[in-house]
C-alpha cells in the first residue's frame, strides 16, 4: 500500500527534523518532504538525530514553497494545534488517517502538512489544504511539538492501516484534481476577478484572495469540475471582450 507524504513546512531545528524522521519510520512512513528548511539542506543536526532513520532524510524532497511540495496530492491535510476560524472540515488524527487510507486505497495521493516549531502553519499554507487535522489535547495544556505531532499522526496511520477493518474504496474511478490543478484554478480566477475589480477595497484583497483559495481547496473537485470552472471563466472573459 502506498503511504502519505509528511511535509515539514519551514522547520527550524535540525534536531526536530531528525526526530520527525525517526517518528515517521517508527510507523513505517518514509515519504518526507521539506519546505524551505531554515538552515538549508542537508542538515547535519537532522542527520545526527535521525540515527537509523537517515534514509528518510536522504530520500526527502526539498522544495521552496508549500504549493510545490503538495502539487501531486489530491488530498492535503494541515495539522494545527488551535482551532482556526476557517470553514474547513476538522478531523481528529484517527478520522484523518482513516480517510487517508481509503483515499490512498482508491489511488489518490495524500500529503500532511506540519508547521514550524514555534509559529505553526501560516494561513497561506492552510489555504492549500483540503482539511485540518487537530490532535484533541487537553484544552488547558496543549504543548505538542513538531516531532510529537508527527509521531501521533504516524501512529494513527499505522493503527488504522494494520487494523482489522478493511479499506473501503469510495468513488473509485473518479479522477480527483490534484493540488497543482486546484492552485492553477485559483490562479486563473484570481487573475480574472482581479481584472474585473472583484478584490475591493484594496485593503481587504489579501483576505478575500485567501478566502477564495480556501474555498477551492475545500471543494471535492474532480478534474472535470476544474475544467468546467475554467471554461465558465474563459467564457465570461470572451463575453466581456466581445463588448
Stretch that binds its own copies, among 37-45, 57-65, 70-78, 135-143 (CB under 8 A): 135-143
| Total chain residues near its own copies (CB under 8 A) | 70
All cell numbers assigned to 236 = 465570461
Is there binding between residue 205 and its own copies (CB under 8 A)? Answer: no
**What ranges make up the beta strands (E) of 90-180?**
90-91, 110-114, 131-133
Is there binding between residue 235 and its own copies (CB under 8 A)? Answer: yes
Is there binding between residue 227 and its own copies (CB under 8 A)? Answer: no
Find residue 105's DSSP bridge partners: none
Residue pair 146/18 in contact (Cβ under 8 Å)? The answer is no
Pairing of strands 61-63, 32-35: parallel
Stretch that binds its own copies, among 85-93, 104-112, 119-127, 179-187 (CB under 8 A): 85-93
Nearer to its own copies, 44 or 142 (CB): 142
Is there binding between residue 172 and its own copies (CB under 8 A)? Answer: yes
Report the residue from 1, 64, 201, 238 that binds its own copies according to the rule CB under 8 A.
238
Is there binding between residue 201 and its own copies (CB under 8 A)? Answer: no
CA distance 182 to 67: 10
Q: With left for phi above 0 and alpha for psi between -120 and 50, is residue 200 left, alpha or beta? A: beta
Q: 65: closest CA among 145, 125, 127, 1?
A: 125
Q: 7: closest CA among 232, 24, 233?
A: 24
Stretch that binds its own copies, among 7-15, 35-43, 69-77, 221-229 (CB under 8 A): 221-229
Pairing of strands 75-79, 90-91: unpaired
Stretch that binds its own copies, among 38-46, 57-65, 113-121, 137-145 (CB under 8 A): 137-145
- Residues making contact with its own copies (CB under 8 A): 22-23, 25-28, 51-53, 83, 85, 87-92, 94-95, 98, 131, 135-138, 141-144, 148, 151-152, 155, 158-159, 162, 166-172, 174, 189, 192-193, 195-198, 211-212, 215, 218-220, 222, 224-225, 228, 231-233, 235-236, 238-240, 243
Amino acid at each position: 500500500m502506498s503511504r502519505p507524504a509528511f511535509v515539514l513546512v519551514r522547520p527550524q531545528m535540525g534536531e526536530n527534523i531528525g526526530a520527525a524522521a525517526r517518528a515517521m519510520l517508527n510507523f513505517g512512513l518514509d515519504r518526507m518532504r521539506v519546505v524551505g528548511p531554515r538552515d538549508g539542506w542537508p542538515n547535519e543536526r537532522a542527520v545526527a538525530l535521525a540515527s537509523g532513520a537517515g534514509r528518510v532524510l536522504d530520500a526527502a524532497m526539498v522544495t521552496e514553497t508549500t504549493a510545490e511540495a503538495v502539487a501531486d496530492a489530491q488530498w492535503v491535510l494541515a495539522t494545527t494545534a488551535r482551532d482556526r476560524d476557517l470553514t474547513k472540515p476538522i478531523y481528529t488524527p484517527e478520522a484523518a488517517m482513516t480517510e487517508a487510507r481509503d483515499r490512498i486505497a482508491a489511488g489518490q495521493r495524500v500529503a500532511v502538512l506540519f508547521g514550524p516549531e514555534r509559529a505553526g502553519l501560516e494561513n497561506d499554507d492552510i489555504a492549500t489544504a483540503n482539511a485540518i487535522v487537530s490532535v484533541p489535547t487537553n484544552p488547558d495544556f496543549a504543548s505538542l511539538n513538531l516531532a510529537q505531532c508527527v509521531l501521533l499522526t504516524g501512529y494513527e496511520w499505522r493503527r488504522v492501516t494494520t487494523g482489522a477493518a478493511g479499506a473501503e474504496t469510495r468513488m473509485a474511478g473518479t479522477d480527483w484534481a490534484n493540488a497543482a490543478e486546484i492552485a492553477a484554478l485559483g490562479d486563473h480566477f484570481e487573475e480574472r476577478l482581479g481584472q474585473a475589480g472583484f478584490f475591493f477595497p484594496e485593503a481587504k484583497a489579501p483576505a478575500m484572495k485567501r478566502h477564495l483559495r480556501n474555498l477551492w481547496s475545500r471543494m471535492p473537485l474532480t478534474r472535470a469540475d476544474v475544467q468546467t470552472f475554467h471554461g465558465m471563466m474563459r467564457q465570461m472573459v470572451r463575453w466581456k471582450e466581445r463588448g
